[in-house]
Structure 1
Amino acid sequence: MTETTERFFATLPARAPAVLRSPVRGTLQLRLTTGDHCEHWRVELAPGSARVTRETGPADAYWYGSIDLFDRLVTGRAHGVASMLRNESTLTGDVVLFLAFRRFFPTRPGTRDPRTVAREQTGRPA
């Protein structure tokens, strides 16, 4: 497991109150692979809270992807839904849990809100 991924999971509980404001509740099991090695992360999501463990077990949704892809997701160099559409990752179960979880991922470096860009181009105040 990379230090980037470890740090990402370590920060989830503290970031959850700001990120998880919807009534989504459930367990997401992430299975990150490289070669023949598999890392397991279990995230229990609830409004305003996230609990992270390395346990495995029944979950409401399962996300499968490579450790490399997950590192790109947590650094903003990849997009979670796009990775599924390109068959780089797979999700089974409650898709709403992954949609809530992806809010923890940062945006691509240099990304700007299109409304701000339009205001700048038209000369209107923000």
Structure 2
Amino acid sequence: MGEVIEQFFASLPARAPAVLRSPIAGTLRIDLTTGNRTDHWLIELAPGSVRVRHEHGPADAVWTSSAGLFERLVTGRAQGIASVLRNECTFSGQVLLFLAFRRFFPDPPGTRDPRQTAREQAGRPA
């Protein structure tokens, strides 16, 4: 398991109050595969909080991905929904948990907030 992935999971509890503001609650299991090995992460989501455990267990939703793809997700080089739609990973269970969890992923490098771009354009002479 890559250090980037370990750091991502370790950062979730501190980031949860800013990211999880909706009344979503449940357990998401993330299964990361490397060759014939699978690492399991249980993520318990609640409004404003996250509990992370590196173990296998029952969950309301299961997301299975290669460790390589997940590393690209946590570094902003790939997008979660696009990866599911391309069948690069699989998801089953309560889709709202996936939609809430994907907000922890960073934007792609170089992405700018369109509101900031509009403000900059409005301040420039035409």
The TM-score with structure 2 as length reference comes to: 0.94
Matched, 1:2 2:25: no
The correspondence of residues 27-66 of structure 1 with structure 2, limited to 5 A, is 27-66=27-66
Structure-2 residue corresponding to 1:22: 22
SS of 2:91 mapped into structure 1: strand
Per the TM alignment, residue 72 of structure 1 is displaced from its structure 2 partner at its CA by 0.5
SS of 1:41 mapped into structure 2: strand
Matched, 1:73 2:73: yes
**Could you tell me how far apart the structure 1 residues matched to 2:59 and 2:95 are?**
12
Structure-1 residue corresponding to 2:96: 96
Q: Deviations over 1:65-119 (max 9, x none)?
A: 1000000010011100000011101100000001111111111111001222233
Q: Deviations over 1:17-40 (max 9, x none)?
A: 111110000000000001111111
Task: Give aligned pairs, total.
Answer: 124
SS of 1:14 mapped into structure 2: helix
Task: Point out 4+ residue stretches in structure 1 off by more than 2 angstroms.
Answer: 118-124
Structure-1 residue corresponding to 2:119: 119
SS of 2:57 mapped into structure 1: coil
Q: Deviations over 1:12-68 (max 9, x none)?
A: 111111111100000000000011111110000000110000121211000011000
Question: Aligned partner of 1:57: which letter?
Answer: G
- Alpha-carbon RMSD across the aligned residues, in angstroms, is 1.1
Q: Which runs of 5+ in 1 are unaligned?
A: none
**Could you tell me how far apart the structure 1 residues matched to 2:118 and 2:49 are?**
35
Identity across aligned pairs (percent)?
Answer: 69
Q: Which runs of 5+ in 2 are unaligned?
A: none
**Could you tell me how far apart the structure 2 residues matched to 1:122 and 1:40 are?**
48
**Could you tell me how far apart the structure 1 residues matched to 2:74 and 2:12 are?**
11
